[in-house]
Structure 1
Amino acid sequence: MSVALFKKLTILVVDDSAYMRHLLMTLLQALGVKEVLLAINGDEALSIVQTKEPDLIITDAAMMPMDGFSFASKLRSIRGHALGMVPIIMVSGHTDIASVERARDIGISEFLSKPISARGLYERLIQVLDRPRQFVETPTYRGPDRRRRERPFEGEDRRNSIALL
C-alpha cells in the first residue's frame, strides 16, 4: 500500500478521551493522513458527518451520551448514501467476545483493542483500505461481509437473496 493513499484521506476520530483523540490524530498525521476530524462522542460525530464526509471513521466503543455502537448503527442505517457504507474501525478496551460480536453484528469493519499501537492502527487501516471486504445488505444486517475467507460450505445457502454492494 502506498503512503500516497493516506495523503488523500479524511478520517473522523470519535473518542471522549482527549488523550486518545490526540494519540490517534498524531499517529494518523505521522502516516500522512490529509485531514483528521475530531469528535468527543457519537452525537458530535453525527453533526460533523452532515457537513463533511470522511473516508473512514475510527470510533471508541464506550462514550456518553451516544456510544460508538449506537453511532455506528445510525451510520449503517443511512440508505442510498455513501456515508452508510463508510469503513468504521472500533477501538475499545473491552475485548470480550460479546463486545467484539456486537461490533461485528452492527457492521463495524475492523476492531482495534486498547492499548493501541502504531502497528495495530496501521494494520487495521491497510485491512480496511487495501483489502476491503464486500459490503452486504440484508433485511437484518448492513456492513462488510462478516466472513474473512472463503471456505467450503455444506448446508442451505441463505445468502442467495442478499445484495452485495
Structure 2
Amino acid sequence: MSHSVFEKLTVLVVDDSAYMRHLLMTLLQALGVTRVYLAIDGEEAWELLNTCQPDIVLTDAAMVPGDGFMFAKRLRSLRGHALGFVPIIMVSGHTDLASVERARDIGVTEFLSKPISARSLYERLIQVLDRPRQFVETPTYRGPDRRRRNTPFAGEDRRGGVALI
C-alpha cells in the first residue's frame, strides 16, 4: 500500500466561502491529507490555531471581518512560538500586483490564484514542503526569504545585519 507524502500533515483552511472550504478540503483529502481544519475567517482561525497546530495554513485574502492579510500578519508577529513560522499559502482571486506584493511583504509563503486546480494546489504544497525557503527576520519583515534564486549579490550591502532563522 502506497502512502501519500501529505498524510501526516495538518492543514488549516481559512475561507469565508463554504464552497471554497469544501473544495479545498476535498482536494487536500484527495492528495492524502487526513487532518483538515476549517475556519470561516481570520478570527475563527486564530481561535483554532492552538487546537490544531497546523503544518500549513491555506487562507483566502478577502474575508470579513478578519481578512487573510490581517490573519497572516498576526501569525507572523508571533515570536518565540513555532506557529510564527508556519507556511502560509494565500488563495485569492485578487491577483493584481499590489495584492501579491502585499501578501509577499507580510510574510506569505506562496500565492495561489483562483480558480485553483488540484495540480496548482499540489505544486504549492510541494514547493512549501520540498523546497522551503529560509526564514528572515528584520526590523520591518518577518517571513520566508523573498528571493527564489540562490544567486550571489554583487552590490553594496545596504541592509546591514539580517538575522536568518
1:74-94 residue CA offsets vs partner (Å, 9 max, x unmatched) = 000000010000000000001
1:157 aligns with 2:157: yes
Unaligned stretches of 5+ residues in structure 2: none
> Does the residue aligned with 1:95 lie in a helix, a strand or coil?
coil
Structure 2 equivalent of residue 26 of structure 1: 26
1:24-74 residue CA offsets vs partner (Å, 9 max, x unmatched) = 000000011020000000000000002221000000000000000000000
Query: 1:111, 1:6 → 2: CA distance?
Result: 19
1:74 aligns with 2:42: no
Structural RMSD (CA): 1.3
**CA drift at 1:126:** 0.3
Distance change >3 Å, CA 159–CA 5, structure 1 → 2? farther
Equivalent position amino acid for 2:43 in 1: D
Structure 1 equivalent of residue 15 of structure 2: 15
Query: 1:24, 1:71 → 2: CA distance?
Result: 18
Q: Percent identical across equivalent pairs?
A: 77
Q: Which TM-score applies when normalising by structure 1?
A: 0.95
Query: 1:96, 1:114 → 2: CA distance?
Result: 12
Q: Which moved more, 1:13-22 or 1:48-57?
A: 48-57
Query: 2:84, 2:152 → 1: CA distance?
Result: 31
Query: 1:19, 1:46 → 2: CA distance?
Result: 21
Query: 1:3, 1:76 → 2: CA distance?
Result: 32
Tell me, yes or no, if the aligned pair for 2:37 and 2:52 is still in contact at 8 Å.
no
**CA drift at 1:160:** 5.0
1:127 aligns with 2:127: yes
**CA drift at 1:153:** 2.3
Q: How many residues end up aligned between the 2 structures? A: 164
Query: 1:160, 1:133 → 2: CA distance?
Result: 21
Query: 1:26, 1:59 → 2: CA distance?
Result: 15
1:72-127 residue CA offsets vs partner (Å, 9 max, x unmatched) = 00000000010000000000001010000000000000000000011000000000
Equivalent position amino acid for 1:26 in 2: T
Where in structure 1 do 4 or more consecutive aligned residues deviate above 4 Å?
none
Unaligned stretches of 5+ residues in structure 1: none
